[in-house]
Amino acid sequence: MAESITRRSALGTLGVVGVTLAAGALGTPATARAQASPQALGLQETVQDGLKRVFGGRPMKDGSALIKLEIPPIAENGAVVPVNVEVNAPMTPASYVKTIWIVADKNRIPIVARATLTPDAGQAFVGTHIRLGETTDVRAVVEQSDGTLLTAKREVKVTVGGCGG
Amino acid sequence: MAGDIGKIRIRVPSSAKAGDVIRVRCLVIHPMERIERDAQGKIVDRNYNYITRVTATYLGKPVAVFDLTQSVSENPAFSFALKATAPGPVTVTFVDTHGGKYESRADIAFA
């Protein structure tokens, strides 16, 4: 008897997880927002809320000496803005750059992308193309394997918005 | 255009030496649909098709995993680094919200 109750409650939990995931895929209606995990991406929120949700109150150090954030200062087309992030830090199993987040402050979805790296990468480098809705600060937030958070930001002037969605 | 969804191009250096850190660039053809709003500014609720996850592996081991949102451009390109230890394949897998899974590989050749 006890076994069947455990099984039932386990199934119930799985169901809730499934619903949360499905809601996330559907553009996150307001009801799903409360259930979203702290690591969820793609929520419509302000950048302050987003950073608070993802990183909690953890202190962030100024990493502008270590982080090379390559992004054009003026983006004529906000729909395609190339971003490269390179971190001047070791990539060994003992100490490496674990995660690189790209954050665009004024986008409707400010937490744009997250890259998770392994020491096999040899170098902390990622690049992608992002959308920017309007002139905004773009930040890179770097989490190292010991939990240290570093951040650097640059302003990008956007001539034609790409509607970050 | 629609028929090209999931077409992937991967660019690796033509030759590498053991221990080199090389950069790989890949591009996928994908609409990365943006959130649409109706005349009242309300979000149109439907299952938007965009890529949520990109996984890059080298010699079967993950090197970089990207988690994405709709703030990433149409036909997105991704770059990452890897430490070449032996000749072998780099595999990149893209997963989108409509259940699409696209994969391609390129080989790292040693000079």
Q: Give the nearest chain B residue to A164 (CA atoms).
A: B71
Residue A106 lies inside a defined structural domain of this protein: yes
Residues of chain B in contact with residue A127, where contact means CB-CB under 8 angstroms, are 25, 77-80
* Contact (CB, 8 A) for B64 and A106: no
Sorting pLDDT into bands at 50, 70 and 90, what band is A157?
very high
- Three-state secondary structure of chain B: CHHHCCCEEEECCCCECCCCEEEEEEEECCCCCCCCECCCCCECCCCCCCEEEEEEEECCEEEEEEEECCCECCCCEEEEEEECCCCEEEEEEEEECCCCEEEEEEEECEC
Note the pLDDT of residue B2. Answer: 56
- CB distance B66–A114 less than 8 Å? yes
Closest CA to A104 of A154, A150, A38: A154
Residue A127 lies inside a defined structural domain of this protein: yes
- Domain span at residue A120 reads 47-158
Asked if pLDDT for residue B94 goes beyond 80, the answer is yes
Residue A30 lies inside a defined structural domain of this protein: no
Span A38-85, pLDDT tens digits: 566 767 888 999 999 899 889 999 999 999 999 999 998 999 999 999
Note the pLDDT of residue A10. Answer: 52
**CATH number for the domain including A73?**
2.60.40.2470
- How many domains does chain B fold into? 1
A87-96, B3-12, B85-94: least confidently modelled range: B3-12
Q: Are strands B101-108 and A149-160 parallel, antiparallel or unpaired?
A: unpaired
Asked if pLDDT for residue B3 goes beyond 80, the answer is no
Residues of chain B in contact with residue A29, where contact means CB-CB under 8 angstroms, are 45
Residue B38 lies inside a defined structural domain of this protein: no
ipTM for the assembly: 0.90
Helices (H) and strands (E) in chain A, counts: 3, 9
pTM: predicted TM-score of the whole model, two decimal places? 0.81
- How many domains does chain A fold into? 1
Span A4-33, pLDDT tens digits: 455 555 545 455 444 444 444 444 444 344
Residue A101 lies inside a defined structural domain of this protein: yes
Measured CA to CA, the distance from residue A98 to residue A121 in angstroms comes to: 11
Residue B17 lies inside a defined structural domain of this protein: yes
- Domain span at residue B13 reads 2-33+44-108
Residue B74 lies inside a defined structural domain of this protein: yes
Q: Give the nearest chain A residue to B66 (CA atoms).
A: A115
**What is the average pLDDT across B91-99?**
94
Residue B45 at interface with chain A, using a CB cutoff of 8 Å = yes
